[in-house]
Amino acid sequence: MLSQIQSETPPPNLAALAEDHYFSANPPPKDLEKHTALAREFINYHAAAGRRLVLVTSGGTTVPLEKNTVRFIDNFSAGTRGATSAEYFLEAGYAVLFLHRQFSLLPFSRHYSHATDCFLDFLREGPNGSVVARDEDAAKMLHVLRKYRDARDRNMLLLLPFVSISDYLHALRCVAQLMQPLGPRGLLYLAAAVSDFFVPPDRMSEHKIQSTNAADAFKKGSSSATPQPSAAEDEETFDNFDSSPKVPRSKRLVIDLDPVPKFLKNLVEGWSPQGMIVSFKLETDPTILVHKAKYSLDRYQHHLVIGNLLATRKWEVVFVSPGSPDRWIRVPFRKAGADGSGNAVEIEKDEPLDPKSLPDGEPE
């Protein structure tokens, strides 16, 4: 009898439980309501026009170490992939909801941002105290300006910022759910570099983590303002798992992170069951990239994983999709930008060059 009851009881939906737990334990960002209202209006406007709409996520999420955040863990992403792709999506006729890390690269302004050239370098003094583009930059600037104005004037681009991993996940869930009426005309292009580990709120310090015990005396209500050595310092407690020079445990900051739940399953099955979902997979070890991309596709059953390596991401990516052979896309490697960080041919362009056109030899 018991075994019959057990076999009839549906197994708990672990993904749904993890979602409930995460979103109730991690408070939404203060702007979520405002951002949701903007996203709703934008999505409904384009849905009514029968237009295709893409959510592009871009830039890195932070992992705060304190609730009143002074310190956080970050990652390398500048948002180049997302901002560049957004421009090409606009060119292809998509409305673009650009969910990006605050202060990371934005479509159009990325051409003149802090990450490559300073925008002031493109300007000169004009007649009568005016400021104009330098002659050699004017044609490109006019081109970018026209495309930017067009996107803005036709309400084709909505910019929504996030900072932390939980800001990002709250916003992603809301926007993906709002996109449901678009069905397959809604595309989710997940290029953001999303943290895999975080500090859960119940283990997060309320205030700035202290590096000395100077404040302890005040906190304990003592009249003495002189820092006292802690018991741990008195005892000179050392861990034995690290190398010299030895530092007492009391002086270290040991960060203990939990894994961020993998919400791609929830996205595919619940938040956006009909949307087209493209995720990115970043690795540094070339021997595991395709394997990890395939694993992600098998596990989450979405439409496409674009794999890329940290060192070569600007000129080669691999497309891994169900039932198709892996497809490498490569563009010639040629440094661009004042700091040489960009690639002259943008791989995000929708018609990448034939791999055979690659120059001889490996890029540096």
Which residue ranges make up the site for ligand PAZ (CB under 6 A)?
A: 77-81, 191, 193-194, 280-282, 308, 313
CB nearer to ligand PAZ: give 47 or 56.
56
Q: How far is the CB of 254 from ligand PAZ (least distance, A)?
A: 25
Q: How far is the CB of 190 from ligand PAZ (least distance, A)?
A: 7
Q: How far is the CB of 314 from ligand PAZ (least distance, A)?
A: 7
Q: What's the gap between Cα 18 and its chain centre?
A: 21
Q: How far is the CB of 71 from ligand PAZ (least distance, A)?
A: 22
CB nearer to ligand PAZ: give 100 or 170.
100
CB nearer to ligand PAZ: give 59 or 275.
59
CB nearer to ligand PAZ: give 59 or 186.
59
CB nearer to ligand PAZ: give 36 or 80.
80
The three-state (H, E, C) secondary structure of the chain, written as one string: CHHHHHHHCCCCCHHHHHHHHHHHHCCCCCCHHHHHHHHHHHHHHHHHCCCCEEEEEECECEEECECCCCCEECCCCCCHHHHHHHHHHHHCCCEEEEEEECCCCCCCHHHHCCCCCCHHHHEEECHHHCEEECHHHHHHHHHHHHHHHHHHHCCCEEEEEECEHHHHHHHHHHHHHHCHHHHHHEEEEECCECCCEECCHHHCECCCCCCCCCCHHHHCCCCCCCCCCCHHHHHCCCCCCCCCCCCCHHHCCCCCCEECCCCHHHHHHHHCCCCEEEEEEEECCCCCHHHHHHHHHHHHCCCEEEEEECCCCCCEEEEECCCCCCEEEECCCCEECCCCCEECCCCCCCCCCCHHHCCCCCCC
Q: How far is the CB of 343 from ligand PAZ (least distance, A)?
A: 10
Q: How far is the CB of 121 from ligand PAZ (least distance, A)?
A: 22
Q: How far is the CB of 102 from ligand PAZ (least distance, A)?
A: 14
Q: How far is the CB of 330 from ligand PAZ (least distance, A)?
A: 15
CB nearer to ligand PAZ: give 235 or 258.
258
The pair of structure tokens assigned to 161 is 């910022």
CB nearer to ligand PAZ: give 271 or 280.
280
Strand pairing category for 157-162 and 131-133 = unpaired
Q: What are phi and psi of 99, to 5 degrees?
A: -95, 105
CB nearer to ligand PAZ: give 36 or 85.
85
